[in-house]
């Protein structure tokens, strides 16, 4: 029996930006799929509705792969795919598999010989890198830095050193309500001529994206409290 295709469906990162974030092909694809594996069912249903889903949502099969559902077997997610049905994989925001637990689903699909098709859509990591002016040939995304303050400061110093040594852009994030303390630690830890790009609320109407030296940021920096933000460090001297 011919197996179905796993489509990796990007989710918009801000309210009201569906038209500029999602392609016509993506909208066409979601209207041909009736089964989804999602990180957050509420977010997924909301996105599908505003993306232009015409299928009644009551007819959809939604598999919850949220944080409270992970750690167990994922084999039941693949019954539809093994039976020949196409399935969509959706993250809570942005692109599935990028800083996202959906990567486990994709890995299992490859093991089972299931075709995987990533669709074009917004990725905050790539958008931030594109807009930073930093090295896009060599970069590393580190996800979250340590919570412990001393360990975090050491990591920031290491990232600054890596950037200078390898001429490599260093990207990382923080839980939104801890963004301001993170920024304070970066400004206290890094050298004044190191470049820092702050990319906040990307694709939203109040999007903020600027690159300055640490010394310049010390004079004036934004309030990032509870705003999705990516930090990028680059040092070439």
**Over the stretch 38-53, which tens digit does the pLDDT of each residue have?**
998 998 999 999 999 9
| Predicted pLDDT at 92 | 87
CA 199 to chain centre: 13
Task: Give the domains, in start order, of the chain with CATH numbers.
Answer: 5-118 (3.40.1010.10), 124-234 (3.30.950.10)
Alpha-carbon separation of residue 218 from 149, 157, 187, 196, 226 (angstroms): 20, 17, 7, 11, 20
**Which residues are CB-neighbours of 112 under 8 A, at least 6 positions away?**
3, 78, 81, 82
**Over the stretch 167-206, which tens digit does the pLDDT of each residue have?**
999 999 999 999 999 999 999 999 999 999 999 999 999 9
| Predicted pLDDT at 146 | 97
Q: In whole angstroms, give the CA distance from residue 99 to residue 229.
A: 14
| Predicted pLDDT at 191 | 97
**In this structure, what is the dihedral angle of CA atoms 217, 202, 67, 105, given to the nearest 10 degrees?**
-120
Burial environment of residue 175 by CB neighbours within 10 A (0 to 12, 13 to 18, 19 or more): exposed
Q: Tokens in use for 147?
A: 């919570």
Please answer whether residues 89 and 105 qualify as being in contact, where contact means their C-beta atoms are separated by less than 8 angstroms: yes
Q: In whole angstroms, give the CA distance from residue 35 to residue 28.
A: 15
Is 132 or 19 the better-scoring residue by pLDDT? Answer: 132
Mean per-residue pLDDT over the chain, rounded: 94
pLDDT at 79 over 90: yes
pLDDT at 62 over 80: yes
Say what percent of the chain tops pLDDT 90.
Answer: 84
């Amino acid at each position: 029996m011919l197996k179905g295709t796993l489509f990796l469906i990007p989710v918009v990162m801000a309210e009201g930006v569906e038209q500029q974030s999602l392609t016509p092909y993506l909208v066409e694809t979601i209207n041909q799929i009736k089964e989804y594996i999602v990180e957050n069912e509420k977010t997924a249903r909301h996105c599908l509705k505003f993306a232009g889903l015409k299928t009644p949502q009551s007819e959809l099969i939604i598999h919850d792969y949220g944080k409270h559902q992970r750690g167990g077997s994922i084999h039941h997610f693949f019954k539809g795919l093994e039976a020949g049905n196409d399935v969509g994989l959706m993250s809570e925001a942005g692109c599935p598999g990028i800083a996202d637990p959906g990567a486990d689903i994709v890995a299992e699909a490859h093991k089972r010989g299931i075709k995987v098709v990533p669709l074009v859509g917004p990725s905050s990591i790539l958008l931030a890198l594109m807009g930073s002016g930093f090295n896009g040939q060599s970069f590393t995304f580190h996800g979250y830095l340590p919570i412990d303050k001393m360990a975090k400061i050491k990591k920031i110093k290491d990232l600054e050193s890596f950037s200078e040594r390898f001429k490599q852009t260093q990207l990382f994030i923080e839980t939104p309500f801890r963004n301001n303390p993170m920024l304070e630690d970066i400004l206290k830890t890094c050298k004044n001529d190191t470049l820092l790009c702050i990319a906040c609320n990307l694709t939203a109407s109040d999007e903020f994206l600027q690159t300055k030296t640490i010394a310049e940021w010390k004079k004036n920096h934004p309030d990032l409290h509870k705003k999705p933000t990516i930090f990028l460090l680059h040092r070439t001297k």
